Chains A and B, each alone.
Chain A
Amino acid sequence: EAAVTQSPRNKVAVTGGKVTLSCNQTNNHNNMYWYRQDTGHGLRLIHYSYGAGSTEKGDIPDGYKASRPSQENFSLILELATPSQTSVYFCASGGGLGYNYAEQFFGPGTRLTVL
């Protein structure tokens, strides 16, 4: 069954530490997205990718890097984590064929706490 998975599901990090969040999709979608969700906000786009080797900045990219080494995998990297990056992070894939191109399929989310 096609799916988007994320690891880890929960992470506690220290300020200044490096954090890597991983996402894998078996939908064979070209597009992948990283969002964060905070109370009172909808999802906000951090980085996205149109295919292996490509990454693009979203609406709130500061403090984050992304890596897309393959069609299936998309990582979000916090080089120097800060408490303001405490949030729930969602990965999504999209860009299916034809009429459903715009629909996005979401992973279960990663809850990150930076102390």
Chain B
Amino acid sequence: AQRVTQVQPTGSSQWGEEVTLDCSYETSEYFYRIFWYRQLFSGEMVFLIYQPSFDTQNQRSGRYSVVFQKSFKSISLVISASQPEDSGTYFCALSELISNYQLIWGSGTKLIIKP
């Protein structure tokens, strides 16, 4: 069974719109982190943001923020004012203290931002 699920294999949006990408995960641990990475069309993996489980505040970094719904084991990545260069595949990954923070990856959401 998949422990990290991204149900949207693809998505698209118009330039300037806000985009929300969803991720759900399974864990029984108290200490964990959820990471978001973007994979460029070149293959390069770029770290975007992460949310610690113990932090009730939604994390924000530039145009990226998350909506963390801990009780539902759900987290969404929000991209504000989307731009064509935001196109790529977005992965969320679960990282648990008990496994020394190894990353367990979702299958990704391919996002296209149209000009």
Which chain A residues have a beta carbon within 8 Å of chain B's beta carbons? 31, 33, 40-45, 48, 50, 58, 88, 90, 92, 94, 101-106, 108-109
Contact = CB atoms under 8 A, between A and B. Distances in A.
A103 B108 contact: no
Contacts of B50: 102-103
5 contacts: A42-B107, A43-B91, A102-B101, A103-B35, A103-B50
B29 interface: no
Nearest to A31: B100
Interface of B: 4, 33, 35, 42-45, 47, 50, 91, 93, 95, 100-103, 105-108
B1 to A, nearest CB: 13
Contacts of B33: 102
Contact of B95 (A41, A102, A106, A109): A102
A108 B101 CA distance: 22
Contacts of A42: 4, 91, 93, 105-108
**Most chain B CB within a 10 A radius of its CB, from A40, A42, A92, A103:** A42
